[in-house]
Structure 1
Amino acid sequence: MPIKIPDQLPAHEVLVREGVSVMDERTARRQDIRPLQIGLLNLMPNKIRTETQFARLIGATPLQVELTLVRIGNHKAKNTPEEHLITFYQTWEEVKDRRFDGFIVTGAPIELLPYEEVTYWEELTRILDWTATNVHSSFYICWGAMAAARHFHQVPKYTLDKKAFGVFRHRNNAPASPYLAGFSDDFAIPVSRWTEVRKADIPGDAGLDLLMESDVTGPCLLAEATGNRLYMFNHIEYDSTSLKEEYDRDVAAGTAIEVPHGYYPDDDPSRKPLNRWRSHAHLLFGNWINQVYQTTPYDLEEVGRDLRLAS
């Protein structure tokens, strides 16, 4: 079954063109099932691009999914028209009384800032705490994953001498994990960040399992049974041209940047890059959605009920 998003959302036309099944409101109501409620807290500056990337992966599942776009309330976006935000997004304050089967927090290009200097850090920490009581399973991406790991487990981040940039081979550490069902022993994932978390800082008594890692770029995916949390420190959701656009932008600005590793054929930026991670991106999100479906309560009001009563 397809993903349910507004007909006017720019992602709608893109996904239909790519063959992703998209459902309208009338068809959704006719089906006698409860769609999974997935929220996307979009922290990226180009929100239209990012919402399309995640809708593409979520929409590939055979389950019916209703996607809610969420934004930080006290932060003004510079790269997305205000009309788009008003039409398609809700602030977290507007959705905080709802329950979600799944909730995604994206990355943000602010990783060199100390967490406490991020203008919306206070609101984000409230959102992270809220996911413990109002979300069945959370999926944190890149800076969002670093921020969540810091908030929940005090895992620090470190500034790199040069940007980790390109497509790197990663190792499957847990073939029996339901999140890695069908994964190869190793696989390629895009990386684009100036900071890192380190394996030595992952607390051994916190129930965090390191599912994916790279010998070059370090930890990639953590799973935490408590709270059903996933922490993805890289950009597995990226389009085929995302790294190219970042590279071209930096070159045009005169910024010192290396050709993204393992991305262009023969490391030649004049050639068309090859997407070597698309299948594993779909697989990971499909596995996550399946786990959410298998374990979430049918009555959404039951999500986090015990924790809410105890607080």
Structure 2
Amino acid sequence: MPIITPSSRVLPSYSKLAAEGFAILTHERATTQDIRELHIGFLNMMPDAAFTATERQFLRLIASSNQIAQFIFHPFTINVEKRSPEIQQYVADYYDDFEQLKLEGLDALVITGANVANKNIQDEDFWEPLKEVVDWAYDNVTSIFCSCLASHALLKIKYDIDRQPLPEKCWGLFNHTVSDPTHPLVHGMNSRFDACHSRHNEVSSDAMRKAGLKVLVESEEAGPHLAVSEDGFRIIFLQGHPEYDTISLLKEYKREVMRYVSGDRGDYPPFPSNYLSLQSQAILEEYQLRLTNAMTNGTELPEFPEKHVTPLVHNSWQDTANAFTNRWLGQVYQTTNVDRTKQFEDQLDPNDPLGLYSGK
């Protein structure tokens, strides 16, 4: 959260800190701000199996990031796929209506990933409904936070950038470097940190920069993790998964093993990169041997050793994910209008809301 300068005898250090990228508010601006809760929209496009789990992941990420500000969470969804009766009822009972949210306004919007069945995202059933949400949000919401496939979708919608297929899935835990430590969204964070990825496609740093986007965090192994739109703030692109829990990748690995068992996958899945300890790998390799023997011999299949591996999995990314989310929400808090139907404070330039280029 920002430091507020006093009305008189302002320390020279404040201007130096501001030049370094720290959030410094003048006394005049601080006393004229109207402080209220933030209204955060949550567009959940995940398939039924991960629908509520993803909802909880993002709730944890937001709740853990800031202990001072107050947030009201507005979940909603669009026509992504045929939903089960249970999820349809869940949405009817607990989710908001997008048309009503448009009337009331939102301060920020989080968009999840989704399952895809086509090579081109624009061939998916959710494409037109998603475009409608994005077109409205871009001109009415202070900032849009995109996770994984949502980033690829918005890069296509706003910049006509096509994601490219990878020779093999980018899956696991990868080390990243902050490319621009002066940007308010990453200023003061660790200059190197881990982040989770799970995707078959990517948009490269070169493609992003060529379109005028600012790449803030990238990895030699996994490519760009975090980038922002040319204005510095209105769209946040994350190719990784800051919302992932400690065992999210383990759950994905288990799902792939079960796909192998059911015949939906031809090969036995590899381990997620850089994620499992040697002890965990040994347990899972022993399980693989027993499983394949049981499948060959037609005997009872062994239970996946999730309860044995889970205590051995460590989390090396959550602190940084929380720190980034805190910075994002802090900037939303400082720039959004007290009137939820307006995008920014009246004096701010929508093309440079953080004053990164105008020097304000």
Q: Identify the TM-score tier after normalising by the shorter chain.
A: 0.7 to 0.9
Measured after TM superposition, the shift of residue 267 of structure 1 is 7.3
Could you tell me which amino acid in structure 1 is paired with residue 184 of structure 2? P
Within a 5 Å distance, the mapping from 1:204-243 to structure 2 comes to 204=210, 206=212, 208-226=213-231, 228-243=234-249
> CA separation of 1:199/1:79 partners in 2, compared to 1, >3 Å: closer, same or farther?
farther
Measured after TM superposition, the shift of residue 225 of structure 1 is 4.9
Residue 265 of structure 1 corresponds to which residue in structure 2?
A: 277
Contact 1:111–1:195 (CA<8 Å) still a contact in 2? no
Contact 2:209–2:215 (CA<8 Å) still a contact in 1? no
Contact 2:79–2:125 (CA<8 Å) still a contact in 1? no
Q: Deviations over 1:16-35 (max 9, x none)?
A: xxxxxxxxxxxxxxxx9521
Contact 2:106–2:341 (CA<8 Å) still a contact in 1? no
Residue 47 of structure 1 corresponds to which residue in structure 2?
A: 51
CA distance in 1, matches of 2:181, 2:168: 32
The reply to whether residue 293 of structure 1 matches residue 333 of structure 2 is: yes
Query: Please, which of 74, 84, 90 is the counterpart of residue 90 of structure 2?
Result: 84
Q: Deviations over 1:129-151 (max 9, x none)?
A: 11112211111110001100111
Could you tell me which amino acid in structure 1 is paired with residue 152 of structure 2? M
TM-score of the aligned structures, taking structure 2 as reference length = 0.71
Measured after TM superposition, the shift of residue 166 of structure 1 is 0.4
CA distance in 2, matches of 1:139, 1:130: 14
Q: Deviations over 1:9-60 (max 9, x none)?
A: xxxxxxxxxxxxxxxxxxxxxxx95210100001112221111111111112
Measured after TM superposition, the shift of residue 98 of structure 1 is 2.9
**Cα RMSD after superposing both structures:** 2.4
CA distance in 2, matches of 1:78, 1:250: 22
Measured after TM superposition, the shift of residue 96 of structure 1 is 2.6
> CA separation of 1:235/1:248 partners in 2, compared to 1, >3 Å: closer, same or farther?
same
Residue 173 of structure 2 corresponds to which residue in structure 1?
A: 167
User: Which is worse superposed, 215-224 or 67-76?
Assistant: 67-76
Percent identity, aligned pairs only, is: 30
> CA separation of 1:52/1:33 partners in 2, compared to 1, >3 Å: closer, same or farther?
same
Contact 1:223–1:230 (CA<8 Å) still a contact in 2? yes
Q: Deviations over 1:250-276 (max 9, x none)?
A: 112213321001111127343422111
CA distance in 2, matches of 1:112, 1:169: 30
CA distance in 2, matches of 1:281, 1:168: 13
Q: Describe the SS at the equivalent of 1:184.
A: coil
Could you tell me which amino acid in structure 2 is paired with residue 230 of structure 1? I
Residue 35 of structure 1 corresponds to which residue in structure 2?
A: 37
Contact 1:247–1:260 (CA<8 Å) still a contact in 2? yes
Question: How many residues are paired up?
Answer: 276
The reply to whether residue 56 of structure 1 matches residue 36 of structure 2 is: no
Instruction: Indicate the structure (1 or 2) with the bigger Cα radius of gyration.
Output: 2
CA distance in 2, matches of 1:129, 1:305: 20
Q: Deviations over 1:61-84 (max 9, x none)?
A: 120110000100474334962221
CA distance in 1, matches of 2:118, 2:200: 7
Residue 18 of structure 1 corresponds to which residue in structure 2?
A: none
The reply to whether residue 72 of structure 1 matches residue 78 of structure 2 is: yes
CA distance in 1, matches of 2:89, 2:117: 28
Could you tell me which amino acid in structure 2 is paired with residue 144 of structure 1? A
Measured after TM superposition, the shift of residue 152 of structure 1 is 0.6
Contact 1:261–1:267 (CA<8 Å) still a contact in 2? no
Q: Deviations over 1:194-249 (max 9, x none)?
A: 1111122124363x110011111111111125362110011111011111111111
Residue 277 of structure 1 corresponds to which residue in structure 2?
A: 317
Q: Describe the SS at the equivalent of 2:104.
A: coil
TM-score of the aligned structures, taking structure 1 as reference length = 0.82
Q: Describe the SS at the equivalent of 1:145.
A: helix
Residue 17 of structure 2 corresponds to which residue in structure 1?
A: none
Unaligned runs of 5+ in 2: 1-33, 284-308, 350-360
The reply to whether residue 95 of structure 1 matches residue 135 of structure 2 is: no
CA distance in 2, matches of 1:111, 1:211: 30
Measured after TM superposition, the shift of residue 112 of structure 1 is 5.3
Higher-strand-fraction structure: 1
CA distance in 1, matches of 2:188, 2:195: 16
